[in-house]
């Protein structure tokens, strides 16, 4: 019998007894936790016993998921946050001070990019973007006051692969914290701690949860002191997640392994299929022979190309509109890692703020699409994409 000894009369006093135990993690939405005495609370705050006090500070559903992610990433004591951007914010705002300098990859996730461009400078933190495929370019950006580097292993949306080993060596030599956003690659393709990363973070919203029904993030630091600072900052600023979101994420994560294998196998097939279609100018998939970083992808990701691919249609916006319209059953939606295949069009979404010249320089024409490959039958996807590419050709 679990007694709520401080329960008021409007609260139930106990849970029903059961000699058997649930096989599914119970959802624990309680915001507050009652203690027996002030002494008992002291013991908890002083870490002599484990217990929860207030949901913003931690709750069982968050701990169940963070322990799972710790095991996957090879980290310890990781923290769940209410979104991937909450994890990015905890790192970028919780670990730097005015006067520091931060270096970011030049193809970071859009909102991370915005923090680099707007929020950090507003708070007196200087930032520089550099090309993570080229360690020399990253090295050239280093200043005496550089505190951390934030990069993604595979960039969005051109799927370039970072020189993680080169960058890790630089960070080590200069005492810079190396932060890896491992959302696209996931710990199945790479565990950044194995390569010398100091901090790993995720948008758990994407492949890990996998069903587009929860936003959640995760961050883990190698150094327990850094981890403690991240945790205190996140709890203070309210970046921590709700029990229900964690519960949903855990449910999704049970099938992550299977979903990832299926989606990446299909992505490889679809990439080759697209490359053979008239009307497709180029296909970007890290394991293809024509990908500029193929060798690095093979070595770093151990032959795992992940589930993302991009391609460029001949023809401009009319071709793109015709493609999206004809791609029946494929959601044209700015996310990734869902059970269903989704399409995004950087020119009208993530990269719309860029000038047409800047977009062209980044290789993001009106015909450029990014595909997050889901769990559909590969043959069905091939046929939908063939038909949609034909429609695009007819319209261009």
Ligand X SMILES: *Cc1c(COP(=O)(O)O)cnc(C)c1O
The answer to whether 205 contacts ligand X (rule: CB under 6 A) is yes
- Closest residue to ligand X in the complex (CB): 84
Q: Choose one: 24-32, 203-211, 269-277, 342-350; the region binding ligand X (CB under 6 A).
A: 203-211
State which residue, 214 or 322, has the beta carbon closest to ligand X.
Answer: 214
CA separation for the pair 84, 215 (Å, rounded): 7
Q: Is 317 a catalytic residue?
A: no
Residues 116-175 that bind ligand X (CB under 6 A): 152
The answer to whether 345 contacts ligand X (rule: CB under 6 A) is no
Using CA atoms, how far residue 320 sits from 212, 225, 286, in Å, is: 24, 49, 23
CA separation for the pair 98, 318 (Å, rounded): 47
Q: Is 181 a catalytic residue?
A: yes
The answer to whether 83 contacts ligand X (rule: CB under 6 A) is yes
Active-site pick, 191, 206, 262, 296? 206
Neighbouring CB atoms inside 10 A of 249's CB total 29
# residues near ligand X by CB under 6 A: 14
The answer to whether 183 contacts ligand X (rule: CB under 6 A) is yes
Q: For residue 182, what is the DSSP state?
A: -
- Among positions 59, 160, 188, 206, the unique one binding ligand X when judged by CB under 6 A: 206
**Both tokens of residue 223?**
């150094």
Q: Cβ distance 88 to 63 under 8 Å?
A: no
Q: Choose one: 77-85, 142-150, 269-277, 351-359; the region binding ligand X (CB under 6 A).
A: 77-85
Q: Cβ distance 330 to 343 under 8 Å?
A: yes
Q: Is 213 a catalytic residue?
A: no
The answer to whether 187 contacts ligand X (rule: CB under 6 A) is no
Q: Report residue 340: phi and psi, to 5°.
A: -100, 150
The answer to whether 215 contacts ligand X (rule: CB under 6 A) is yes
Burial class (CB in 10 A: 0-12, 13-18, 19+), 364: buried
Residues 21-50 that bind ligand X (CB under 6 A): none
Active-site pick, 100, 181, 245, 293? 181
The answer to whether 312 contacts ligand X (rule: CB under 6 A) is no
Instruction: State the nearest-atom distance from the C-beta of 335 to ligand X, in Å.
Output: 7
Instruction: State the nearest-atom distance from the C-beta of 319 to ligand X, in Å.
Output: 26
- Local structure of 330: helix, strand or coil: coil
The answer to whether 85 contacts ligand X (rule: CB under 6 A) is yes
**Both tokens of residue 391?**
């429609």
DSSP 25-76: PPP---SB---S-HHHHHHHHTTSS----BGGG--HHHHHHHHHHHHHHT-S
* The Cα angle at residue 216 between residues 215 and 222, in degrees rounded to 5: 160
Instruction: State the nearest-atom distance from the C-beta of 158 to ligand X, in Å.
Output: 13
Q: Is 131 a catalytic residue?
A: no
Residues identified as active-site: 56, 109, 181, 206
Residues at the site binding ligand X, with contacts judged by CB under 6 A: 83-85, 109, 112, 152, 181, 183-184, 203, 205-206, 215, 217
């Amino acid at each position: 019998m679990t007694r709520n000894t401080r329960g008021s009369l409007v609260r139930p006093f106990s849970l029903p007894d059961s000699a058997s135990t649930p096989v599914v993690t119970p959802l624990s939405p309680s915001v507050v936790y009652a203690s027996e005495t002030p002494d008992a609370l002291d013991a908890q705050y002083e870490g002599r016993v484990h217990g929860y006090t207030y949901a913003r500070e931690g709750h069982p559903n968050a701990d169940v998921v963070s322990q799972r992610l710790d095991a996957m990433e090879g980290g310890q004591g990781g923290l769940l946050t209410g979104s991937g951007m909450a994890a990015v914010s905890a790192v970028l705002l919780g670990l730097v001070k005015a006067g520091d300098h931060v270096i970011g990859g030049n193809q970071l996730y859009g909102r991370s990019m915005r923090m680099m461009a707007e929020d950090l400078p507003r708070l007196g933190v200087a930032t520089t973007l550099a090309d993570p495929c080229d360690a020399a370019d990253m090295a050239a950006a280093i200043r005496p006051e550089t505190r951390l580097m934030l990069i993604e292993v595979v960039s969005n949306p051109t799927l370039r692969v970072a020189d993680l080993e080169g960058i890790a060596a630089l960070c080590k030599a200069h005492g810079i914290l190396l932060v890896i956003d491992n959302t696209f690659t996931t710990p199945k393709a790479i565990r950044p701690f194995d390569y010398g990363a100091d901090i790993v973070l995720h948008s758990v919203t994407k492949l890990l949860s996998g069903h587009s029904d929860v936003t959640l993030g995760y961050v883990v630091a190698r150094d327990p002191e850094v981890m403690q600072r991240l945790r205190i900052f996140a709890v203070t600023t309210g970046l921590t997640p709700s029990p229900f979101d964690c519960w949903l994420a855990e449910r999704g994560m049970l099938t992550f392994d299977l979903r990832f294998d299926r989606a990446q196998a299909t992505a490889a097939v679809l990439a080759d299929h697209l490359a053979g279609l008239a009307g497709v100018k180029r296909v970007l998939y890290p394991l293809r022979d024509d990908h500029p970083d193929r060798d690095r992808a093979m070595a770093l990701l151990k032959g795992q190309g992940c589930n993302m691919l991009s391609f460029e249609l001949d023809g401009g916006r009319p071709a793109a509109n015709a493609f999206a319209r004809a791609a029946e059953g494929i959601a044209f939606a700015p996310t990734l890692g869902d059970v269903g295949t989704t399409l995004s069009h950087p020119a009208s979404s993530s990269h719309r703020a860029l000038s047409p010249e800047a977009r062209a320089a980044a290789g993001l024409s009106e015909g450029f699409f990014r595909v997050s490959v889901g769990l559909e039958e590969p043959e069905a996807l091939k046929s939908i994409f063939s038909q949609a590419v034909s429609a695009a050709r007819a319209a261009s």
